[in-house]
Each structure stands twice: as structure tokens, then as C-alpha cells.
Amino acid sequence: MPLRAYIDNEEIISIGLTDEQWEEFNVKVKKQELLLTLPCCNQVGSLRKSSKGLKYFVHSKSDNTCDWKPESLEYFLQTENGKHLRVGELKRRYSKTV
């Protein structure tokens, strides 16, 4: 489940979005007002939410193959300039208003 995508060429991290932001993005992507692509292959994708509430991105159906590698929360908590990023910092950095 990719947790990262580009919406109109801006990187978005799913876990940093509020439910309201997620729903707004979802509606606009479905109406094709915004373009969502996945960084692993630049294919078009869409937004999904698991039954437990995890927000993530999926590939649209395509004949193209993708060498996507799983992303985890730990991936986003890696160090930057020797400092660990906190979830709050991730939310501030990657939360985008619609």
C-alpha cells in the first residue's frame, strides 16, 4: 500500500492528511479535477481507505508493470540531517490544503 503520491505534481503523504483533506482530494481526483500519480512508476492512481482507517494510494488498472516497494511508517520516520522526524513534523510538512 503506497503511502505517498503526487497530486498535481505535489508530494502528498497519506498519513499526514486529515479526514476532511482526504475526502476533498478523493472527490476532486474522481472528478478528474486533480491528477494523482504514484512516484514509483508515474502511473495514475486513486485514494483508498482501509476498514481500519489507514489512508493509502493504489494504482489504476493498467497493463504497465510497476516495481513498487512497500512503504512503512518507519520509512517516513527516518532521520533527516541526523534528527528523527516526528509524526507531528510529518503532518506539518506533508499536510496540504486542498
Domain that holds residue 70: 4-94
On whether the CB atoms of residues 32 and 95 are closer than 8 A, the answer is no
- Looking at residue 82, its pLDDT comes to 43
Domain count of the fold of the chain: 1
- Looking at residue 30, its pLDDT comes to 93
C-alpha cell at 36: 494523482
How confident is the model over 34-58, as pLDDT tens digits?
Answer: 999 998 888 899 999 988 888 989 8
On whether the CB atoms of residues 76 and 88 are closer than 8 A, the answer is no
On whether the CB atoms of residues 7 and 84 are closer than 8 A, the answer is no
C-alpha cell at 23: 475526502
Residue 72 has pLDDT above 80, yes or no: no
Max mean pLDDT among 30-34, 76-80, 85-89 falls in 30-34
